[in-house]
Amino acid sequence: MTGILVIVSNYMTNQERITRQLIREQQEAARQNLRQANSQATSKGKASEGGTVN
């Protein structure tokens, strides 16, 4: 019985680790997308205003 509990516990720990890794990857992708969107918006703002954005 103890062996089954250890297996289940290890499985849950692995699932948590995988979930945390996926969340980190999604957060990093979201940050990159936001940086890209901000960069594009800044570029468009400069072009439309004909000046610089501080």
pLDDT band at 44 (very low <50, low <70, confident <90, very high): confident
Report the alpha-carbon distance of residue 14 to residue 16 in Å, rounded: 5
pLDDT band at 22 (very low <50, low <70, confident <90, very high): very high
Least trusted range by pLDDT, from 24-28, 30-34, 47-51: 47-51
Which pTM does this prediction carry?
A: 0.62
Report the alpha-carbon distance of residue 5 to residue 11 in Å, rounded: 10
Q: Which one-letter amino acid corresponds to residue 48?
A: S
